[in-house]
Amino acid sequence: MDIRKLTMPAMALVLFYCVYQSEKLTRVENPPGPIHITYWEKWTEFEGDAIRAVVDEYNRKQNKVHVDLLTVSDIEKKTLLAVSGGNPPDVAGLYGPNVAQYADDHAVMELDAYCKQYNITRDNYIPIYFDIGYYNGHVYSLPTTPASTALHYNKQLFREAGLDPEKPPVTIEEMDQLAEKVVTRKNGHIDKSGFMPAEPGWWNWGWGFVFGGRLWDPATGKITANCPENIRAYNWVRSYTDRYGASELSTFRSGFGNFSSPQNAFLSGKVAMEMQGVWMYNFIDQYAPGMEKPVLNWAAVPFPHPADRPDLAETTFADEDILVIPRGSRHPKEAFEFIAYVQSQEGMELLCMGQRKHSPLAKVSPDFIKKHPNPYITVFSELPKNKNVISPPKIGIWPEYQAEMNAAFEQVALGKKTAKEALDYVQNRVSLMNEDYQAQLKARKEAGQ
């Protein structure tokens, strides 16, 4: 027999053997000891360290479940693709506004039964932080770190403008007036500004809320982008453009650096007042220590309300990062056991202290507040308890809706459209989109998916 005839089969055999060996090396078959669950989380740096501490503590405390923490960027997209590929992590740390979209697509599991088993109810939380994960009558997620927003202002800039740094504005109108007084110019161009609706740009879609507007009506499911309050809000945005000029504002803004840098508009003392969240202290601490020491040169107070709407006092945006169990998780029971630990006062305070946020839980240990480095932590923990707390709409098309609102904001801020034109456009476009989306959901339901 010609030995060369065997070349191909022999090569194939060698190949198979190599594959077999490599698989044997990497595959852990029923490892003895605890069940391993995979947990994907987006945080890095000190925020990553905080969750690592929680995971380590959990792994140390018991020996049934071992959590393998993996840092994953673009987590909401990757989790989605992992779910559709049938190999998701057991726990994923997504963002609050993902809930509706992911629940509609059955990408995440309902947690009602587990919550009942572990006695986790709405009463355990500051209500809004539970509600963000509650959609269509089911719990889909539980919070990790929460956020709420407040007016941050730079006392030094107040002083330089001859304003009383202990008297922050209470109404929007006052804020506009104070803002005007802070403005300084260099060579005819704005050098420092009091307030800019486009800074930091994260709530461009949401200014309507501050004026009492809503983006949708939960009862009827109707889109309300062009309700009078939203138009009023965007007119207010436009008033800044009209006062300073669109190109002058964009020239001024173009000098700002990245948010997470010392060139940040607020941290570098370019803008005196900004709506910011509980996280802002971390950036002040890291990039603008001069605002903290030797004297505290910044403060956080409830965001102003329109003078004719005192009922809107203390309006705050609440948002949170969340934990979900993706559909297809191999160990949902163990996954929830870990989630339940994060929801305990101990786990939650360890995490939120590490990330220097407040706790989403109703019960907080006195030590937590006392030891908290953020000098205004109680502002952030109390604001979300009041009736004017708002969170992004829970509708599946929210990402598109948000993009449309942001585009409308830009057109208004650049002076290309009036508030009414821009919002009427959004209303039409998103209403159609929503009808389409709801029809698709219904069709799928009828098809039994």
Partner 1 sequence: MSNSKRETRTALLFVSPWIIGFLVFLAYPLSASIYYSFCNYSVLKAPVWVGMANYRNLVQDDVFRTTLVNTLIYALMSLPVGMAVAIGLAMMLNAKIKGQTIYRTIFYVPSLVPGVPLAVLWLWVFNGKQGIINAVLQPLLDHVASALSIVGFHGHLNAPQWLSDAAWAKPALVIMSAWGAGNAMLIYLAGLQDVPQPLYEAADLDGAGWWSKTWNVTLPMLSPVILFNGIMGIIGALQVFTIPYIMFPGGSPARSTYFYAMYLYDNAFVYLKMGYACAMGWIMFAITVILTVAAHKLSDRYVHYGGS
Per CB under 8 A, residues contacting partner 1 are 8, 77, 80-81, 83-84, 101, 105-107, 188, 247, 250-251, 253-255, 397, 399-400, 403, 406-407, 410-411, 414, 416, 429, 436, 440, 443-444, 447, 449
Residue 405 beta carbon to partner 1: minimum distance, rounded to whole angstroms: 11
- What are the Cα distances from residue 192, in Å, to 154, 162, 241, 271? 12, 14, 16, 6
Residue 135 beta carbon to partner 1: minimum distance, rounded to whole angstroms: 16
Length of the chain counted residue by residue: 449
Q: Closer CB to partner 1, residue 21 or residue 261?
A: 261
Q: Closer CB to partner 1, residue 89 or residue 384?
A: 89
Angle subtended at Cα 51 by Cα 53 and Cα 344, rounded to the nearest 5 degrees: 85
Report the b/e string of 359-368 with b at 16+ CB within 10 A: bbbeebeeeb
With H, G, I as helix, E, B as strand and everything else as coil, classify residue 249: helix
Q: Under a CB-based contact definition with an 8 Å cutoff, are residues 280 and 266 in contact?
A: yes
Nearest to residue 194, comparing CAs of 265, 245, 280?
265
Amino acid (one-letter) located at 196? M
- R_g over Cα of the chain: 26
Residue 325 beta carbon to partner 1: minimum distance, rounded to whole angstroms: 15
Residue 189 beta carbon to partner 1: minimum distance, rounded to whole angstroms: 9
Residue 260 beta carbon to partner 1: minimum distance, rounded to whole angstroms: 13
Q: Write the DSSP symbol of residue 111.
A: -
Q: Closer CB to partner 1, residue 283 or residue 425?
A: 425
With H, G, I as helix, E, B as strand and everything else as coil, classify residue 288: coil
Residue 15 beta carbon to partner 1: minimum distance, rounded to whole angstroms: 11
Residue 172 beta carbon to partner 1: minimum distance, rounded to whole angstroms: 25
Got the DSSP string for 131-200?
HTTEETTEE--EEEEEEEEEEEEEHHHHHHTT--TT---SBHHHHHHHHHHH-EEETTEEEEEEE-TTSS
Q: Closer CB to partner 1, residue 124 or residue 204?
A: 204
Q: Write the DSSP symbol of residue 360.
A: S
Nearest to residue 39, comparing CAs of 58, 26, 60?
58
> In angstroms, rounded to a whole number, what is the distance separating the alpha carbons of residues 193 and 273?
8
> In angstroms, rounded to a whole number, what is the distance separating the alpha carbons of residues 355 and 242?
40
Q: Closer CB to partner 1, residue 170 or residue 407?
A: 407
Nearest to residue 110, comparing CAs of 81, 133, 127?
133
Q: Closer CB to partner 1, residue 100 or residue 351?
A: 100
Q: Closer CB to partner 1, residue 101 or residue 315?
A: 101
Residue 371 beta carbon to partner 1: minimum distance, rounded to whole angstroms: 37
Instruction: Tell the burial category of 21 from Cβ atoms under 10 Å away from its Cβ (0-12, 13-18, 19+).
Output: exposed
Residue 246 beta carbon to partner 1: minimum distance, rounded to whole angstroms: 9
Residue 112 beta carbon to partner 1: minimum distance, rounded to whole angstroms: 21
Q: Closer CB to partner 1, residue 217 or residue 436?
A: 436
Q: Closer CB to partner 1, residue 107 or residue 318?
A: 107
Q: Under a CB-based contact definition with an 8 Å cutoff, are residues 274 and 266 in contact?
A: yes
Residue 255 beta carbon to partner 1: minimum distance, rounded to whole angstroms: 3
Residue 167 beta carbon to partner 1: minimum distance, rounded to whole angstroms: 32
Q: Which residue has the tokens 């004017």?
A: 388
Q: Closer CB to partner 1, residue 13 or residue 296?
A: 13
Q: Closer CB to partner 1, residue 185 or residue 444?
A: 444
> In angstroms, rounded to a whole number, what is the distance separating the alpha carbons of residues 152 and 175?
12
The two tokens of residue 407 are 């585009």
Q: Closer CB to partner 1, residue 57 or residue 110?
A: 110
